[in-house]
Amino acid sequence: MTRKLHLNLFLHDTGHHEASWRLPESDPYANLSLEAHQRLSRIAEDAKFDSVFLADSPVLWSDPGRRPSGKLEPTLLLAALIASTSRIGLIATASTSYNEPYNLARRFASLDHLSGGRAGWNIVTTAGADAARNFGLDDQPLHADRYQRADEFLDVSTKLWDSWADDAVLADKRAGVHAAADRVRSIEHRGRYFRVDGPLNLPRSPQAWPLLVQAGSSEDGKEFAAKWAEAVFTAQPTLAESQAFYADLKKRAAAAGRDPDHVVILPGIVPIIGDTAAEAQELDAELDRLIAPRYAVATLAHLLRVPAESLDLDKPLPEDLPPEEEIEGAKSRRTLIVDWARRENLTVRELIGRLGGGRGHRTFTGTPVQVADTIQEYFENGAADGFNIMPAVLPSGVEAFATKVVPILQERGLFRTDYEGTTLREHYGLPRPASRLHAGAVRDRGYR
């Protein structure tokens, strides 16, 4: 079978460019609108995207003056989107640091049942002391501790999803037996972070497990992804960096006893599309003019862990930045941004302009053919299995990509013209996990 691209739409209020909300076309209340999310999801489904994705954090993300900052709880929003879509996958972010496995496993199993097998979980460990203080802690747990908790969290969650055998539900009216009790098992988990008896109070869902997605690119994050992730969102600003990340993660997955083809790697791309290159550049320049530097500098300073007054707009980053080993949150993103600024000798003003569009993801300004060419280059040269599409402006950005770029990819034989399956796993070409707790389970994910 010819290898096909995978496309995920990352929905982000009025668009990924931080100034998108200031454009005349933008609805500054779209972040709170079910109708807006439904419309965008249907556009993506009509274009045969694999999935749509909602990010989240249990903390106010930025200065509320900077851009729309309110966030609807994503699993609730996905439940509402189930009713307005029929085939596209639906991925929500949820933290392993500030949830419990039983509640979250139940929530995602419920979404998978209600959607007919279209649910995905973007697993995050949640950095930042401000989030920790919303949950009764004085500071965030250490980076390594967050990933150790996440590993055990996934172990418990997958056991809970496996606690019902696929054939447990009989619904035998004549015999008066709804489910075979011997096909429903407690998990009796006892670990460092969790004590969970189980079983889950839901039968196994259509996908068995929701699609497991991860986005961390630190050493701990990559090891976690190699063990658990089935799709990986990553931020790599150049082809060479994307190729290096792709090769490294596939190698790690193989070392973990998994099939590397069952880890789908999706770099983020922020396309700014115009019918001509000049039109695209004009939109890009307009967006950058609308960035408010006072907010952007404060956000950059927070990421770098330096005082905002130490950043001069017209000078490069200071030389004496804290090293990565002293950073406890967003390690990989911080290092990516610092390396990028050093490599291209960017001033702080130039850097915040670059970050305003994609926060370290690859930004690309051009015509539909040029965008398609870039996607094809990455896909055919060991840098990506597909892309996390992050429109700079909504709704026009996703409309342009869906109606002008997708047809080019389809004409080139790179992307589907129709869905071939019904579940999110089928869209991504991934197997349905066999149970670890019941007879006949296949050890195909590197479990020991």
What's 156's domain CATH number?
A: 3.20.20.30
**Helix pair 277-289, 348-358: axis angle to 10 deg:** 110
Residue 441 confidence (pLDDT) above 60:
no
Do the domain assignments include residue 420? yes
Q: DSSP per residue over 42-83, as a string?
A: HHHHHTT-SEEEE---SS--S-TTTS------HHHHHHHHHT
Task: Please count the other Cβ atoms lying within 10 Å of the Cβ belonging to residue 315.
Answer: 10
Mean pLDDT of 137-148: 91
Do the domain assignments include residue 300? no
Do the domain assignments include residue 306? no
> Which CA distances in Å does 325 have to 99, 221, 269?
27, 14, 28
| pLDDT the model gives residue 267 | 96
Q: Is 436 exposed, middle or buried (0-12, 13-18, 19+ CB in 10 A)?
A: middle
Q: How many domains does one find in the chain? A: 1
Check whether 217 is labelled as a binding-site residue: yes
Check whether 143 is labelled as a binding-site residue: yes
Cβ pair 101, 153 in contact under 8 A: yes
Higher per-residue confidence, 143 vs 265? 265
| pLDDT the model gives residue 369 | 98
Mean pLDDT of 221-250: 95
- The 8-class DSSP code of residue 180 comes to -
List, in order, residues 6 or more apart from 24 with CB less than 8 Å away. none
What confidence tens digit (pLDDT) does each residue in 73-85 have? 999 999 999 999 9
144, two tokens:
């390594």
Would you place residue 207 in the very low, low, confident or very high pLDDT band (cuts 50, 70, 90)?
very high
Spatial separation of the C-alpha atoms in residues 221 and 242, rounded to whole Å: 16
Check whether 218 is labelled as a binding-site residue: yes
What confidence tens digit (pLDDT) does each residue in 333-365 have? 677 778 767 877 878 777 776 666 656 678 889
Do the domain assignments include residue 433? no
Residue 225 confidence (pLDDT) above 90:
yes
Interstrand relation of 89-95 and 195-196 (parallel, antiparallel or unpaired): unpaired
Check whether 186 is labelled as a binding-site residue: no
> By C-alpha distance, which of 356, 407, 350, 362 is closest to 271?
362
| pLDDT the model gives residue 299 | 75
Q: What percentage of the chain exceeds 90 in pLDDT?
A: 70
| pLDDT the model gives residue 357 | 61
Would you place residue 447 in the very low, low, confident or very high pLDDT band (cuts 50, 70, 90)?
very low
Mean pLDDT of 375-388: 97
Spatial separation of the C-alpha atoms in residues 153 and 104, rounded to whole Å: 10
Q: DSSP per residue over 162-228, as a string?
A: TSB-TT-EEEETTTTEEE-GGGB----EE-SS-EE----SSPPBTTBSPEEEE---SHHHHHHHHHH
Interstrand relation of 264-273 and 89-95 (parallel, antiparallel or unpaired): unpaired
| pLDDT the model gives residue 64 | 85
Cβ pair 235, 267 in contact under 8 A: yes
Do the domain assignments include residue 50? yes
Mean pLDDT of 131-156: 93
Spatial separation of the C-alpha atoms in residues 143 and 331, rounded to whole Å: 9
Cβ pair 41, 10 in contact under 8 A: no
What's the 3-state SS for 380-438? HCCCCCEEEECCCCCCHHHHHHHHHHHHHHHHCCCCCCCCCCCCHHHHCCCCCCCCCCC
For residue 182, the enclosing domain spans: 6-277+362-427
What confidence tens digit (pLDDT) does each residue in 286-333 have? 988 888 777 777 777 777 888 877 887 778 888 877 766 555 555 566
| pLDDT the model gives residue 1 | 53
| pLDDT the model gives residue 101 | 98
Mean pLDDT score across all residues of the chain: 90
| pLDDT the model gives residue 40 | 98
Do the domain assignments include residue 129? yes
| pLDDT the model gives residue 119 | 98
What confidence tens digit (pLDDT) does each residue in 161-202 have? 999 999 999 999 999 999 999 999 999 999 999 999 999 999
Do the domain assignments include residue 350? no
Q: Positive or negative CA dihedral for 312, 317, 320, 323? A: positive
What confidence tens digit (pLDDT) does each residue in 103-124 have? 999 999 999 999 999 999 999 9
Do the domain assignments include residue 437? no
| pLDDT the model gives residue 446 | 34
Higher per-residue confidence, 419 vs 217? 419
Cβ pair 5, 414 in contact under 8 A: yes
Tokens 């792709």 belong to which residue? Answer: 246
19, two tokens:
């100034």
